[in-house]
């Protein structure tokens, strides 16, 4: 199972999703055991369902949100899930994209990695702050 939630969600508090994930981890015997079957990704600055709005990169290719720039396991949550099921390769990050004006026909203005909870993306100290490659999951 892959879950993602925007930190700026004003409709559903992301802390509720974290509490749910923590309950799953407790039932599974801890976070390490749960990571074999479920991952939670938290998207900074993202509003509800990634439907645009908010300052953060919200396009991860879900059915209800903005499309990812590429339909692959690095950028698209459904492709990441398919790869995990088909090959056993769990996603270690998703690259979330922000389009100019939240319009996927316009240029990409920012990409950031979303890391599996409890990890977070941290700036590596050099490089473009709008490029996913400038961040590491810690």
Output the pLDDT for position 93: 96
Contact 69, 75 (CB under 8 A): yes
Q: Give me the residues paired with residue 103 across strands.
A: none
User: What's the number of domains the chain is made of?
Assistant: 1
Look at the alpha carbons of 95, 7, 40, 119 in this order and tell me if their dihedral is positive or negative: positive
Output the pLDDT for position 60: 92
- Give the residue-averaged pLDDT of 48-62: 79
How does pLDDT run across 26-54, given as a tens digit for each residue? 999 999 999 999 999 999 999 886 565 68
In angstroms, what CA-CA distances link 69 with 49, 103, 125?
17, 11, 26
In angstroms, what CA-CA distances link 38 with 66, 105, 123, 133, 137?
23, 32, 25, 25, 17
For residue 117, count CB atoms less than 10 angstroms from its CB and return exposed for 0-12, middle for 13-18, buried for 19 or more: buried
**Segments of 47-107 assigned E as strands:** 94-99
Confidence of residue 65 (pLDDT cuts 50, 70, 90): confident
Q: Give me the residues paired with residue 121 across strands.
A: 137
Parent domain of 55: 2-137
d(CA 17, CA 103) in angstroms, rounded, equals: 27
């Amino acid at each position: 199972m892959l879950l993602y939630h925007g930190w700026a969600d004003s409709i559903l508090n992301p802390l509720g999703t974290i509490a749910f994930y923590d309950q799953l981890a407790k039932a599974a015997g801890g976070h390490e055991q749960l990571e074999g079957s479920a991952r939670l990704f938290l998207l900074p600055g993202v509003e509800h369902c990634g439907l645009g709005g908010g300052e953060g990169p919200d396009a991860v290719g879900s059915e209800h949100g903005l499309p990812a720039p590429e339909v692959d396991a690095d950028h698209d949550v459904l492709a990441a899930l398919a790869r995990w099921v088909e090959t056993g390769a769990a996603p270690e990050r998703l690259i979330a994209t922000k389009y100019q004006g939240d319009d996927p026909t316009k240029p990409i203005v920012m990409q950031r990695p979303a890391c599996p909870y409890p990890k977070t993306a941290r700036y590596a100290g050099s490089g473009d702050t709008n490029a996913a490659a400038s961040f590491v999951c810690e």
